[in-house]
Amino acid sequence: MKLKKPIIYSLLALSVVISVFGLQPFQQTIDAEKALVKQTGVYATEVRRLPDASYLVAVRTSMPEVKADMVRWWFSDFLQTTEHYNWWHPKDHVWMDWENKEPGEIIGASHLVHEYIGGDLSKLRIQFVNSAEFFGYDANDEDTFVICARVGLLDEEMNIAKMCHVVRNTLNGAEMRSRFWLGHVAKRKGNKTISSLEGFIGNTFLTRLLVFNKQNAKDLKFHAEEEMKYLAELLPPLYESKNIQSSYQDHQGLHYLKNF
């Protein structure tokens, strides 16, 4: 029996399959539910190449004196200008704007940003979506704020990653669990993702292996650690000043009505 050629052809076919789909083609790598762990202090900060060659970046941030509602307010109400964005990270955050933003809402809005991640200036479009897209249900509750997004290039209609931030109340404040999946590529049109050859090729094992490297992931981890520490320090006094201003305005309004 002549087995040499069939074996060679089989190996070539197998190498093509692996280069496209990876070693574990049916394994789900979007594991957002891990960020919902009830215990505090156990969510792992890590950088890891996943079986489909995408990269996981996970960061845990302790936020003393912060509550989940404060982070919700930061995203849905307060964050409006480049100055605000610069407060969040004075060195790395350069410019921001909003697309489709409604007051008090965040789902459906896209955050347009220029920011340094590592030594490179990244120009990104961060499209916030319902957490059900990642968890299968709305993961928000009275003690938990969840914000999820598709991350894309600002200058091209192409998404390149997915992300979630989960903020859970603790006894002394809150804990943020950030989770990024680098290498989830999709062509977009407006807020919709569409099928495309670029998306298919971009999600192959080989392309992810070549395009997304450990240094990219480590740079993102370092950036996320820094910006969330800044936010943890910034939010308590900022939110307190908002409450003082609101109380003052309520008092002035009541005084006006009494003298009307």
* pLDDT tens per residue, range 12-69: 443 444 445 544 444 468 899 999 998 999 999 999 999 999 999 999 999 999 999 9
CA distance 13 to 2: 18
Element (H, E) at 250: helix 214-258
* Phi, psi for residue 23 in degrees, rounded to 5: -80, -25
**Across the chain, what does the average pLDDT equal?**
87
Residue 185 near residue 197 (C-beta atoms within 8 A): no
CA-to-CA distance for 151 and 165, rounded, in angstroms?
13
pLDDT at position 34 is 94
Q: What CATH number was assigned to the domain covering residues 46-241?
A: 3.30.530.20
Q: How far apart are CA 176 and CA 229, in angstroms?
A: 10
pLDDT of residue 29: 80
For tokens 């697309």, name the residue: 99
Q: pLDDT-derived band of residue 246, with 50, 70 and 90 as boundaries?
A: low
Q: Is the pLDDT of residue 104 over 90?
A: yes
β-pair type (110-117, 158-170): unpaired
The CA distances from residue 86 to 19, 21, 81, 124, 260, in Å, are: 41, 40, 9, 16, 43
DSSP label of 135: H
pLDDT given at position 244: 67
CA distance 36 to 21: 28
Which regions of the chain does DSSP assign to beta strands (E)?
A: 46-49, 55-64, 93-99, 110-117, 120-129, 144-153, 158-170, 173-189, 192-194
Cβ proximity of 59 and 225 under 8 Å: yes
For the chain, the domains span 46-241
Altogether, the residues listed in the chain come to a count of: 260
Query: What pLDDT, on the 0 to 100 scale, is given for residue 195?
Result: 96
Query: Which pair of tokens denotes residue 20?
Result: 């496209």
Element (H, E) at 68: helix 68-73
Task: Tell which wins on pLDDT, 2 or 38.
Answer: 38
